[in-house]
Amino acid sequence: MSSRRDDPHGRALLTDALRNKGVAFTREERERHGLVGALPPGVLSLEQQARRAWEQVQAQPDDLAKNVCLEQLHDRNEVLYHRLLTENLTELLPIVYDPTVGQAIKRYSHEYRRPRGVYLSIDHPQDVRPAFEALGLGPDDVDLVVATDAEQILGIGDWGVGGMQISVGKLAVYTAAAGLHPGRAVPVMLDVGTDNQALLNDPLYVGNRHSRARGKDYDAFVAAYVDTVRDLFPHALLHWEDFGPGNGRRLLETYGEKVCTFNDDMQGTGAITLACVLNGVRVSGTPMREQRVVVFGAGTAGVGIADQLRDAMVRDGLDGEEAVARVWCVDRQGLLLRSTDGLRDYQRVYARPDEEWSGGHERPIGLKEVVERVHPTVLVGTSTVHGAFSEDVVRSMAGHVERPVVLPLSNPTDRIEALPEDVLRWTDGKALVAAGVPVAPVELDGTTYVIGQANNALLYPGLGLGAVVARASRITDGMLQAAAEAVAGLAELSGPGAPLLPQVENLRASSATVAVAVARRAAEEGVARAPLDDVIQQVQDAMWQPEYA
Ligand SMILES: NC(=O)C1=CN([C@@H]2O[C@H](COP(=O)(O)OP(=O)(O)OC[C@H]3O[C@@H](n4cnc5c(N)ncnc54)[C@H](O)[C@@H]3O)[C@@H](O)[C@H]2O)C=CC1
Ligand SMILES: CC(=O)C(=O)O
Ligand SMILES: [Mg+2]
């Protein structure tokens, strides 16, 4: 990385996590860098350090303690942290990311040890620029910025400044899964306050101790963030994570056409779900244009998914109205009808005409009734309601569709709409299931069902890498579609029990494939600003490896 940051010397080098090698500094390096006497005399290889770090993680009593242990390593030695993560992705992804990251966010102020990333406060908007300038990075030094305001973290709601840990976790996945350079990526917390009263009354809370700002002040603060990043780091991709449904969508509408940016919960989740459904189509043989989709939980993720499935049906021959007519959204008010009170603007397009449901239906019209009447081929859960896909709902669906696609996507695990094991049991193994959290394979009647992880983490790293390699001026719908199709194409659908998505252990290879598809689409659509002469090699070259310099 070219950097304006002065390279540290002596003991300061041991606190620079990007350069620190710990006991892997050789005798000669110790002499050259002023580290004589600063380390025990033995020299270990990166492999030996990784073995020790693995032992330390394994010795922790529970997953939260493992997360804390890994974050301490992250703060000490980035290469070693990423080496461990990359080599043990299946075991460690659930610790640094979903679902344990949810616990780490809730416990942030209590487990707090060291800061990481850039904390911006709405109470001091004048600090936005100096906060980024203090990184000491130049205009070509940053590829990626992940920001959250923590209003809707995973399925656990508003967690204030603890949300920093979702920006950190998402970036760890970018590096482990797609080789985005950890020194060229910045996690950001936009602290606009919190409405979480437990935090406001927690004496140890380290965030802004007031309710959430909204309206003009909020917009001006976010604009200061976007303008500053664009000015200082003109090539950076801006990733939005875990904003509330109103702000998330509005910010994407404000910036999506002007800036290289995407909202992971709306668009990343929409694309990974599209990948699942494309493979559901391959297995069931029912074409995309004939799918009937019920979305339970029509918020940020749910409507983002509806949008991408609708667009896929349009690509498969329907017009816009016909495609919308094949989507039913159910939220707290039951099935969303045009007359439903409190419809959000982004839900309105999917609200069903009341006449369709005039014949003696009790209000609200619940999920079970919708499923019984609609016979969905695809059931998506983005509601945060544990157990909402009950046995009678799933059995009803399977009574009318040979291979129902059932996607309980809410996380963490205690929010999941149904356990894949139950869905498979209730449907005699016919359901095509993927879940938002990692789930162990299910044994049923002599078949092992491997459960795909329908989490945006299987998609956004490749999307980001492709956009970075192409130096895309923006993220287009076509790039999202290319990413979804590339992920879908990587799943091996051979035989009963095969998952709908590629496996997490192959994530690095699948992210590279996704990145190539995304970069090519960016070029086709005229938004690539880098020449792409040999995109496969360019993607390989761009992938950072966790090795000491
Ligand atoms: N697997 C994945 O990649 C992703 C999963 N998600 C998950 O989806 C869930 C929702 O996340 P967001 O869309 O960001 O939140 P959100 O708050 O924007 O949306 C949740 C929606 O569910 C509705 N809901 C709540 N209780 C309900 C009930 N009893 N019945 C019907 N609807 C109800 C809410 O009114 C809201 O419209 C979370 O658990 C999150 O973890 C979100 C993004 C990605
Ligand atoms: C996975 C993710 O982005 C979420 O649950 O919010
Ligand atoms: Mg999210």
Q: Does residue 1 register a pLDDT over 60?
A: no
The pair of three-digit structure tokens given for residue 60, joined into one six-digit string: 């922790």
Exposure on the CB side of residue 520, measured as CA atoms within 13 A: 14
Q: Please give the C-alpha separations between residue 148 and each of 109, 169, 384, in angstroms, as whole numbers.
A: 17, 12, 19
Residue with the two structure tokens 């020449």: 531
Q: Does residue 2 register a pLDDT over 60?
A: no
Task: For residues 126 and 120, give the distance between their C-alpha atoms in angstroms, rounded to a whole number.
Answer: 10
Q: Does residue 197 register a pLDDT over 90?
A: yes
Cα-to-centroid distance, 166 and ligand 3 (Å): 8
Question: Between β-strands 327-331 and 334-335, what pairing exists: parallel, antiparallel or unpaired?
Answer: antiparallel
Q: Among 2.60.120.260, 3.20.20.100, 3.40.50.10380, 3.40.50.620, what is the CATH number of 76-259? A: 3.40.50.10380
0.95 exceeded by pTM: yes
Q: Does residue 515 register a pLDDT over 90?
A: yes
385 versus 496: the higher-pLDDT residue is 385
ipTM of the complex: 0.99
In 3D space, the residue among 93, 152, 151 whose CA is nearest the CA of residue 384 turns out to be 152
Task: For residues 110 and 131, give the distance between their C-alpha atoms in angstroms, rounded to a whole number.
Answer: 24
The answer to whether the bond into 412 is cis (omega within 30° of 0) is yes
- Contact status, residue 459 vs residue 481, Cβ threshold 8 Å: no
Cα-to-centroid distance, 269 and ligand 1 (Å): 11
Element (H, E) at 423: helix 420-426
Instruction: Provide Rg for the chain, Cα atoms.
Output: 24
Q: How many CB atoms lie within 10 A of CB 110?
A: 11
Cα-to-centroid distance, 435 and ligand 3 (Å): 14
Select which of 97, 108, 119, 255 is catalytic: 97
Give SS3 for 535: helix
DSSP 140-156: TS--EEEEE--SSBTTT
Question: What DSSP character marks residue 408?
Answer: E
Q: Does residue 387 register a pLDDT over 90?
A: yes
Confidence of residue 358 (pLDDT cuts 50, 70, 90): confident
Q: Please compute the mean of the pLDDT values over residues 371-387 and round it to a whole number.
A: 98
Question: What DSSP character marks residue 288?
Answer: G
Q: By CB neighbour count within 10 A (0-12 exposed, 13-18 middle, 19+ buried), where does 416 fall?
A: buried
Task: Please state the domain extents for the chain.
Answer: 76-259, 267-451, 458-530
Q: Does residue 5 register a pLDDT over 60?
A: no
Long-range contacts of 340-347, Cβ-Cβ distance < 8 Å, separation of 24 or more: 344/245, 344/246, 346/245, 346/249, 346/303, 347/298, 347/303
76-259 and 267-451 agree in CATH topology: yes
- Contact status, residue 517 vs residue 463, Cβ threshold 8 Å: no
Q: Please compute the mean of the pLDDT values over residues 157-168 and round it to a whole number.
A: 98
Confidence of residue 6 (pLDDT cuts 50, 70, 90): low
Ligand 1 pocket list (CB less than 6 A): 152, 154-155, 245, 265, 269, 272, 296-302, 330-332, 382-385, 409-411, 415, 436, 454-456
pLDDT score of 3: 41
Cα-to-centroid distance, 22 and ligand 2 (Å): 34
Strands in 118-121's sheet, in edge-to-edge order, are 118-121, 185-191, 144-148, 237-241, 261-263
Closest atom, ligand 2, to C-alpha of 409: 5
Closest atom, ligand 2, to C-alpha of 456: 1
Residues 251-309 have pLDDT tens digits of 999 999 999 999 999 999 999 999 999 999 999 999 999 999 999 999 999 999 999 99
CA dihedral 142, 143, 149, 152 (to 10 degrees): -160
Task: For residues 177 and 200, give the distance between their C-alpha atoms in angstroms, rounded to a whole number.
Answer: 36
Closest atom, ligand 1, to C-alpha of 381: 8
pLDDT score of 495: 87
Confidence of residue 8 (pLDDT cuts 50, 70, 90): confident
Element (H, E) at 227: helix 216-232
Q: How many CB atoms lie within 10 A of CB 438?
A: 19
Q: Does residue 360 register a pLDDT over 90?
A: no
Element (H, E) at 87: helix 78-87
* Residue 21 is among the residues annotated as catalytic for this protein: no
* Domain 267-451 class in CATH: alpha beta
Which residues, other chains included, contact 541 with Cβ-Cβ below 8 Å and sequence gap of 6+? none
Q: Please compute the mean of the pLDDT values over residues 447-452 and round it to a whole number.
A: 98
φ, ψ of residue 453 to 5 degrees: the values are: -95, 100
Q: Please compute the mean of the pLDDT values over residues 307-319 and round it to a whole number.
A: 98
The pair of three-digit structure tokens given for residue 307, joined into one six-digit string: 């949008």
Residues 234-253 have pLDDT tens digits of 999 999 999 999 999 999 99
Task: For residues 328 and 293, give the distance between their C-alpha atoms in angstroms, rounded to a whole number.
Answer: 6
Of all residues in the chain, what percent carry a pLDDT higher than 90?
Answer: 97
Confidence of residue 4 (pLDDT cuts 50, 70, 90): very low
Select which of 21, 170, 174, 218 is catalytic: 170
Q: Does residue 493 register a pLDDT over 90?
A: yes
Task: For residues 158 and 173, give the distance between their C-alpha atoms in angstroms, rounded to a whole number.
Answer: 22
Closest atom, ligand 2, to C-alpha of 242: 6
The answer to whether the bond into 364 is cis (omega within 30° of 0) is yes
Residues 61-108 have pLDDT tens digits of 999 999 999 999 999 999 999 999 999 999 999 999 999 999 999 999
In 313-365, DSSP assigns E strands to: 327-331, 334-335
Q: Please compute the mean of the pLDDT values over residues 311-328 and round it to a whole number.
A: 98
* Residue 258 is among the residues annotated as catalytic for this protein: no
- Contact status, residue 97 vs residue 63, Cβ threshold 8 Å: no
Residues 392-417 have pLDDT tens digits of 999 999 999 999 999 999 999 999 99
CA dihedral 333, 339, 344, 346 (to 10 degrees): 110
AA identity, residue 162? G
Task: For residues 534 and 119, give the distance between their C-alpha atoms in angstroms, rounded to a whole number.
Answer: 38
